[in-house]
Chains A and B, each alone.
Chain A
C-alpha cells in the first residue's frame, strides 16, 4: 500500500460520496430517522483524506496505521463508527503486504467484514454490515481467484449494489419506509469512488432510483393522514406539552420542539386548519408549510413510471465546462461537471452551443467554466441569453478550470460554489508546454520551429529541443509561490513522462504531483500548481 495510491483512492471515494450525500441523508430511517447518514460518512471520510494529506508514512504498515487512526478519530455518527471499523479491518490486511493482488484484496474484504461484525453484540442484517459481508463473500468466490485486481473490484462493487438493493427484504423498517439502507448505500458509493479511482472506469451518472425519494417514501408508508403540516409558533410563555396533547388529537407523526418563546410543529393531519388554529390560540404562527402527501405520492409514482432521473433533484448547482480532449472531458465529469462541451484553442464553441447546454442542465443555477480566454466572452454572451441564473467563472485555461473544479459541489448552493471556484481560480498558478509552429522571438526567448515552448501565464519562459529543460523552467516558475501540489494534464501524443516526474520529485521533494491523461491537442503538457 503506497501513500500516493491510497491518497488517490480516498479522494476519489470522497468525491463520489459527496455527490450522493444528500440522497443518502434522505434514505436514513434506521436505526434512528435523523437524516444524517450521508453527512456523517462524508465527515468521517474527509478526515481520512485530510490525515492522508498530512501523512508522511513511508511503508505499507505505516500507511495502514495512519488510515486506521484517522478513521477512528474522525468517526462521526453511527455509520461513521461502523465505517471506521470496516476501514480498520481492510487496511490491517493490506498493511501487512506490499503490492496488491486479487487474493490479498479478498482477504482485506474478509478482514473488513469480520472487524465490522465483531464490534456489535447483536448484528442487524439489512444494514452496512450485510453489505460489507456480501462484498467479502463475492471476493472469495472461486472464479475470482486468479483475476486481475481491478476485475475483482468491479465484481465486489456489483455484489455490494445487489446487497443494498435487497436490504428492504431483510429489515422491516426499510421495507415499510420504502427505502434501502442509508449506511449500505453510502458504503457502496465509497466503494464505487475507490474502484473508479483504481480502474479509471467512468463513474456512471447517479441512476434513477426510488431510493432518492426517502422523505416522500416515509410519508407514503407511515401516515394515514393527508397533509404534512409544519409551522412555528412564537409567544411568551408557550406550553409545549399542552400544545402537543392538543395536536395529538388531530393527527400523527407529531413533533413539537423548541422552548417557551418558539415552538416548531410538524404534524400529519387531515385538518391543517385546525392545527393552525391550535397554534394561533397560543401565539403567533409563522413559516407555515402544508404539503398534500397524497399528491406527493402521486407525483412520486409518476416520476418512477417515467424513470425520471430523480437523483438530479438533489442538484443545487449545474456546471458546464468547455474543454478539449476525451481525458479532460472525463476529468471534468468525474469532478461533477453536469455537461462538458468539446472546445478550446482554435475550436471555440458558439454562444448557441453554450446556451443549449445551459438549457439542458436540470438546474436553474448554472456555472460555466470557459477554460479559455477566447471563450469567456462567448460564455458571458450565452449567459445573458438564458433565462436561468448563469454565472461565468472566468477560467482562462483548462488547467486553471481544473484547479477551480476541485472545489465544486453539485449539492452546494450556487453562490457558495461561485465563491469557492473563484477563490481556487485566483490561487491557481498555471503553465503550459506547446510545440512552436514557426521560428520566432518572444519575451526575449529565441524559438525554433518544432521546439518545445514553455509558457507561464501568457509569457514565454523557455524554449528548446529538450522537454526536461523546458519543463523544469516552467515548473520552477509555476511553483514560485511555494505551492505543494502540481497537476499535469498530458496532451495527445504526449511524450513518456516517467523520467521527468522522477527528476521533478527529486528537485522538489515536498511536491505532490498528479498526472492525468487530458488528451488535448497542441499542448503536450498543461500544468497547474495549488
Chain B
C-alpha cells in the first residue's frame, strides 16, 4: 500500500503532489549532510505500522496544520549536542521550505546516540 501523496499546490490545471518517500529522502539527505551527524538511527515507532515511505531515522506525516517531521540521529562524540541538533533542525527546515514549500507544523530532532571514537 503506497501512502497518499502530499498535495503541495492546487492550480487551475491540476494538483501538484509530492510523495512521502520524496520528502523523507529530502529530510534524510539534509540530515546526513548536517555536520556532527554520523548516522541516522534505526526505525521509529511508526515503521511497524506503516511500512512504506519511511527512510531510516526519518518519519514524516502531513496533518492539516502542516508537515510533522521526526528525526533520529547519532552524533559524533565530543561535539556540542545542542548546537548540532539546532543546526540539523534549521537545515532540514530550510531544505523542506525551499524544495517542498509546505508549512512545517513540527520538526523534532532526537539524538539517539553518541558515537565514541
Residues of A within 8 A of B (CB): 31-34, 68, 72-73, 75-78, 80-82, 84-85, 88, 118-122, 124
Contact = CB atoms under 8 A, between A and B. Distances in A.
B94 A32 contact: yes
Given A32-B90, A32-B91, A81 B33 contact: no
A120 B38 contact: yes
Counting chain A CB atoms within 10 Å of each CB, the highest count among B34, B39, B80, B117 belongs to B80
Nearest to A124: B33
B32 A121 contact: yes
Nearest to A79: B35
A75 B79 contact: yes
A31 to B, nearest CB: 5
B87 interface: yes
Contacts, number: 67
Contacts of A75: 79-80, 83
A120 B87 contact: no
Contact of B33 (A76, A80, A120): A120
A493 B8 CA distance: 77
B117 A85 contact: no
A121 to B, nearest CB: 5
A66 B76 CA distance: 20
B80 A82 contact: no
Interface in B66-107: 76, 78-80, 83-84, 87, 90-91, 94
B83 A121 contact: no
A122 to B, nearest CB: 4
B20 interface: no
Nearest to B30: A31
Given A85-B78, A120-B33, A80 B83 contact: yes
Interface residues of B, number: 21
B79 A119 contact: yes
Contacts of B83: 75-78, 80-81
Nearest to A68: B78
Counting chain A CB atoms within 10 Å of each CB, the highest count among B34, B35, B36, B117 belongs to B35
B45 to A, nearest CB: 23
B32 A72 contact: no
6 nearest A-B pairs in the assembled complex, by CB-CB distance: A119-B76, A78-B87, A122-B32, A75-B80, A32-B94, A121-B32
Nearest to B74: A121
A113 to B, nearest CB: 14
Interface in B16-40: 29, 32-40
Nearest to B31: A121
Given A32-B90, A120-B33, A85 B80 contact: no
B38 A121 contact: yes
Nearest to A69: B78
A31 B40 CA distance: 19
Counting chain A CB atoms within 10 Å of each CB, the highest count among B38, B39, B78, B91 belongs to B78
B87 A77 contact: yes
Given A85-B78, A121-B32, 7 more contacts: A31-B34, A31-B91, A31-B94, A32-B91, A75-B80, A77-B87, A85-B76
Contacts of B33: 31, 120-122, 124
Contacts of B79: 72, 75, 81, 84-85, 119
Nearest to A82: B35
Contact of B80 (A81, A118, A122): A81
28 contacts: A31-B34, A31-B91, A32-B94, A72-B78, A75-B83, A76-B83, A77-B83, A77-B87, A78-B35, A78-B91, A81-B35, A81-B36, A81-B83, A81-B84, A82-B35, A85-B76, A118-B38, A118-B117, A119-B35, A119-B38, A119-B78, A119-B79, A120-B35, A120-B76, A121-B37, A121-B38, A122-B32, A122-B33
